[in-house]
Structure 1
Amino acid sequence: MPKITVLPHAELAPEGVEIEVPAGTSVCEALLENGIPIEHACEMVCACTTCHVIVRKGYASLNEPEEQEEDMLDKAWGLEPQSRLSCQAIVAQEDLTVEIPKYSINHAKENH
């Protein structure tokens, strides 16, 4: 079973974490099912950027991003070439290392 290594995030995973997940699971679902409360304001339908992650290892093993995801990613804070919406990134057989950005564009959470 592939592993996802989540790099330390001050709020969501202060020590970082390594989890095993079945192939075919979205990165977002895997994190949520393992106690990492990543934001997902649109309920994982690719309509926001709150579940944005940066894939530091294993990016090529993920499914190709579709045009809708790429369009949404253009609005994400801290966009990098290895950025994905975790609700759309499907785990294959290869291990992943992901970083959850420090900020997201979630006006509800930020009390705007």
Structure 2
Amino acid sequence: MPVIKILPHAELCPQGTEIQVASGSTICEALLENHINIEHACDMSCACTTCHVVVREGFNSLNDLEETEEDLLDRAWGLEPNSRLSCQAIVAQKNLVIEIPKYTINHAKENH
């Protein structure tokens, strides 16, 4: 089972952590299943950028970006070359290291 290492995020995961995830799940699903409440305002339908993450290690093991995700990422806060929408990034067999950006473009958080 692959491991996702989440770097410290002041609000969502202050100490950072490592979680084991099933291959084939999205990063967003894995985070939520492990009580890391990443924003996902569009309910994981690839219609916003609130679940944006930066993949520090293992980026090339993820599925390819689709055009819709690429277009949306252009609007994400703190975009980097190894950015993904966590609702679209499917975990393969390789371990990952991710960083959840400090901000999103969302002005109001909802209780998901």
TM range (shorter): over 0.9
Question: Match of 1:83?
Answer: 83
Q: Distance in 2 between matches of 1:6 and 1:45?
A: 23
Within a 5 Å distance, the mapping from 1:8-47 to structure 2 comes to 8-47=8-47
TM-score using structure 2 length = 0.96
Unpaired segments ≥5 residues, structure 1 = none
Question: Match of 1:54?
Answer: 54
Q: Distance in 2 between matches of 1:43 and 1:22?
A: 20
- Give the SS at the match of 2:72: helix
1:39 to partner: Cα distance:
0.1
Q: Distance in 2 between matches of 1:96 and 1:70?
A: 20
Question: Match of 2:68?
Answer: 68
- How much identity, in percent, do the aligned residues show? 72
- Give the SS at the match of 2:25: coil
1:107 to partner: Cα distance:
2.0
Q: Distance in 2 between matches of 1:17 and 1:86?
A: 17
Structure 1 stretches of at least 4 aligned residues deviating more than 6 Å after TM superposition: none
